[in-house]
Structures are given as C-alpha cells and as structure tokens.
Amino acid sequence: MTGLFCPLAHRDLSTCFPETAVGFTIKYGCEAGLASTVAESMLMTGQSISHYRELETLGRGGMGVAYKAEDTRLHRFVELKFLSENVAGSPEALSRFEREARAASALNHPNICTVHDIGEEGRKVFIAMEHLEGDTLARIVGRPVELERLLDISGQVVDALDAAHTEEIVHRDIKPENIFVTIVVMRRFLTSV
C-alpha cells in the first residue's frame, strides 16, 4: 500500500503503520559524507538566513551544502540546500537551479518531496524543501530487506516518476542516493489546518 508522509506529525507512529513511503527529489549533489572545499561552511549552527535558522549540517557535495533548519515563521523543520558560490556564480547553473526548483514545486504527490521556497541572501542561493526523516535507498539496500518491502518501494518510486512525467518533468538524476525512504505516519490527506 502506498502511504503518505506528513511533515506535521512529530511522533513515531511506525508501529501503527509499518509500511514505507518514498519521496524523491533533486539532490544537487548534497549527499552525506561527501567533502566540498568550495562550500566549506556557508552557515554555522544557529545562524539565520531569511526566516530560516540553521540547526545542523546534513551533507556536502560538489554542488553545495544541505542543512536541517527551522522555518521560524511556520515553526516547522525544513531542509535548506545551498549552491556553492562557484556554482551560484554561473548564470547557466543558477538558471537551471531555479528552473528545476519551480518545476519540482509544481508537483503535488505524496511520494515527492515538497519544495517550499527558493531564495537568495547576499551571495547565498538556496532552496527550502520538506525535511524528511528516514534514510536513502542506497543505505537501505546495503542491508537485508524483505522482497515485499522492496516491491512496495519500487511501486512508490514508479508512482512518483509517473506523476512527474505526467507534468512533463523529468528527474535527471534517479539513483538510490536520491530516493529517500520514510516511515508512514498518516493515512489521509490534510485538507485544512
């Protein structure tokens, strides 16, 4: 069964709903454990940019750095992905970044990570997106996994890709490192607040 990920739930309901939900997003090379000399320390813990307060570094890559942050206006956790200064300085790369962020933000599907915002402050260009708790498919397939779970994950990835392709959006970097597996915490859509 395809499940939903609700970023508003702050308690572990995995024992009630043990299925997994899969979200995919454009990673911009911000994979955990990769070193980036260009984007060494764009933010420091507790520093704010726009209305986001950085909490911890999630990963570094050739294109930039990803942080877990708090949206101080809406009081939720988000992931901020910053382009490194050399990439942000390239008009072509910046244009591609903005185009991909706009395209991704137009998608509304339970298996696709939500893009909340793009912004720039000073020379720091960033995207704010839904913060997910879980692990990448690359890390999961490195451990013993039941066939039923792998088939469920595969079906959800296909559903997400189908939704994107229906909107004529192509994810150009599908790989296990860019597929995030979360615990399902809610079974119905949140229709109002």
Catalytic residues: 173
HEC letters along the chain: CCCECCCCCCCCCCCCCCCEEEEECCCCCCCCCCCCCCCCCCCCCCCEECCEEEEEEEEECCCEEEEEEEECCCCEEEEEEEECHHHHCCHHHHHHHHHHHHHHHCCCCCCECCEEEEEEECCEEEEEEECCCEEEHHHHCCCCCCHHHHHHHHHHHHHHHHHHHHCCCCCCCCCHHHEEEEECCECCCCCCC
